[in-house]
Amino acid sequence: MDEDSPETCWPPATRPERLAFVAADTATAQEEKLRLSRRYGNCAQEEAEVIICLGGDGFMLETLRLVMDQSVPVYGMNCGSVGFLMNPLDEEDLLERLAVTQSAKLHPLHMKAVCTDGSVHEAEALNDVFLFRETRQAAKIRIEVDGRERLPELICDGILVATPAGSTAYNLSAHGPIVPLSGNLLPLTPISAFRPRRWRGALLPSNAVVTFTILEQEKRPVAAVADFTEVRDVKTVSIQENRNRSVTLLFDPGQSLSERIIAEQFSA
């Protein structure tokens, strides 16, 4: 596969030897980091061939944000709860397992939010960007795609745009579609839509630019969230995939991210 393929094999010339371990601030993750560091060594992140992330999906997203644009891939070991982006916690034969992993290349969404006070905030998200009402009253949002109005008014609790990797997270909970990595699609999913009552969202090409305009901003204030960044009292929010930035995740054979996304569609 070419280098822009979302998922490829990642066989290094030799098994990686320089590992950097990072761990969530939990007893389990910290204890595992100590054991693995004693066994395999723990080099500085800037010298690592692979970064080993110990924690859950939330900590993995934090780690990926920190290594964005670096050439070093990240291999997660689940010390959390769900662990959709993680591999099983296993201390044995780690170097051998890393030599046969598969990689997934992920591009973030870029959010540009303009607030009612005129301030501009930009952030990136590997999971999703979502808008949500700040008060008891439903939000009213106009939706444009590539500069063309597609929905003049959506009355809802909120709306989100997800990456394919993030399509199994909040997007799925909001009854949005799961999207394969190779699909080059972005789910656009309403959150508790009231009008149009039967609108269930859309699948957009990955190069689409989505613009949300908040209607009745003073009466119905809305916040925007890009992974870990929250901006309140937004006026307009534009979202598009940033193909100039990427991160690489590693997965055990047979447990690739594409396989997990497909399997999630058949789970109970």
For residues 14-20, average pLDDT: 84
Give 87's DSSP letter: B
Whether 57 has a binding-site annotation, put simply, is yes
The helix (H) or strand (E) run that includes residue 238 is strand 234-241
Q: Is 42 annotated as a binding residue?
A: no
- Return the CATH number of the domain spanning residue range 109-241: 2.60.200.30
Q: What is the pLDDT of residue 265?
A: 72
The reply to whether 109-241 shares the fold of 7-106+246-264 is: no
No. of H helices and E strands in the chain? 5, 18
User: Does the annotation flag 173 for ligand binding?
Assistant: yes
CB 61 within 8 A of CB 109: no
- Tell whether residue 24 is among the known ligand binding residues: no
Tokens of 175: 């009854």
Per domain, the residue ranges of the chain are 7-106+246-264, 109-241
In tens, the pLDDT along 229-263 reads 999 999 999 999 999 999 999 998 877 777 877 77
Q: Residue 216: what pLDDT?
A: 97
Name the CATH superfamily for 7-106+246-264: Probable inorganic polyphosphate/atp-NAD kinase; domain 1 (3.40.50.10330)
Beta bridge partners of 185: 205
pLDDT score at 268 = 60
Task: Tell me which residues are annotated as active site.
Answer: 57
Label residue 75 by pLDDT band (50, 70, 90).
very high
Cis peptide bond N-terminal to 253, omega within 30: no
What local confidence, expressed as pLDDT, does residue 131 receive? 98
CA separation for the pair 26, 184 (Å, rounded) = 36
| Structural contact between residues 207 and 186, judged by C-beta atoms closer than 8 angstroms | no
Write down the pLDDT at residue 176. Answer: 92
State how far the Cα of 102 lies from the Cα of 227, in Å rounded to an integer: 25
What is the predicted pLDDT for the residue at 256?
74
Average pLDDT of the chain, as a whole number: 90
β-pair partners for 86 = none
| Averaged pLDDT for residues 201-209 | 95
Is residue 127 part of an annotated ligand binding site? yes
- Report H helices in 71-114: 94-98
- Closest CA relative to residue 209, chosen from 236, 169, 176: 236
